[in-house]
Structure 1
Amino acid sequence: MKNEKLTFTCGEGGEAEEFFVVEQTRLNGVTYLLVADSEEDDAECLILKDTSTPEEKDSVYEMVEEEVELNAVLKVFEELLEDVEIEV
């Protein structure tokens, strides 16, 4: 899934936004995506968490906002992407 461009439907209004998947990891049975708004070096990044249930046809991702969870996942992504600097 790396470097794949995905379209996410955001919010109640159903506004579509495109992001590039930089990296994917799984922690404690939960899938996380590091996505960027462009392929440029200074792109804005988000960490998204798959919150969908097995019964759901489509994946449901939410932005990780809880600080402890965010820092733990960020550390994993930094280890996976040795040559990339991620700033919070």
Structure 2
Amino acid sequence: MRTQRFALEFKGEVVTPLSERGYAVAAVCARFGVSSHSPYKWVKALSPGNLEKQAAELIEAKRERFRLNQIPCFFGDHHGH
């Protein structure tokens, strides 16, 4: 069985009633048609501290990618020419 992927906006719509309004997880999950396990992961993933950490990691990864792209390739043409 394939795991269903939800858009970030949808996750935010599910998390908001839980974190800001204090609604019960079971009620919110029934309303949105998601399992009762998912919102716990989403609340943690969408917490401000975690989002800041993910943004910093993304910036660092992009810097590293840029740095590596500046290094000449001595082991063959990596562009397929």
TM-score with structure 2 length normalisation? 0.22
Larger Rg: 2
Q: Which has the higher strand share?
A: 1
TM-score with structure 1 length normalisation? 0.21
Q: Which has the higher helix share?
A: 2
